[in-house]
């Protein structure tokens, strides 16, 4: 799903879904013993675009919730999502 930020029917829930999909794909690819890689360039691009419009409290809540669900340390997840170069 490529987000079209000019789409008048784009809703807040679409932005949340895009960000949530990215976090779940990173957790799947980096922390779970899954042979299937989920992270794609489209997912990452949609997440970056959605971050421009989502409040920090929303992205933080998504990260915290998914970290708890998948039993990943929140600090470790932050490092996986935003590695320092």
Per-residue pLDDT of the chain (85 residues; tens, 9 = 90+): 588 888 999 999 999 999 999 999 999 999 887 888 999 999 999 999 999 999 999 999 999 999 999 999 999 999 999 988 5
Report the largest interatomic distance among the alpha carbons of the chain, rounded to a whole angstrom: 39
Domain ranges in the chain are: 35-85
Query: Rounded to two decimals, what is the model's pTM?
Result: 0.91
Show Cβ contacts of residue 22 under 8 Å, excluding neighbours closer than 6 positions: 39, 43, 44, 46, 47, 81
Rounded to the nearest 5 degrees, what angle is found at the Cα of 10, between the Cα atoms of 7 and 14?
140
CB atoms within 10 A of CB 1: 10
pLDDT of residue 1: 58
For residue 18, the Cα-to-chain-centroid distance in whole angstroms is 6
């Amino acid at each position: 799903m490529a987000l079209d930020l000019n789409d008048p029917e784009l809703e807040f829930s679409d932005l949340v879904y895009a960000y949530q999909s990215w976090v779940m794909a990173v957790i799947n690819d980096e922390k779970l013993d899954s042979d299937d890689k989920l992270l794609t360039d489209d997912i990452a691009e949609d997440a970056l675009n959605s971050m421009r419009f989502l409040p920090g409290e929303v992205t933080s809540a998504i990260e915290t919730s998914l970290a708890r669900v998948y039993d990943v340390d929140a600090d470790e997840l932050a490092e996986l999502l935003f590695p320092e170069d």
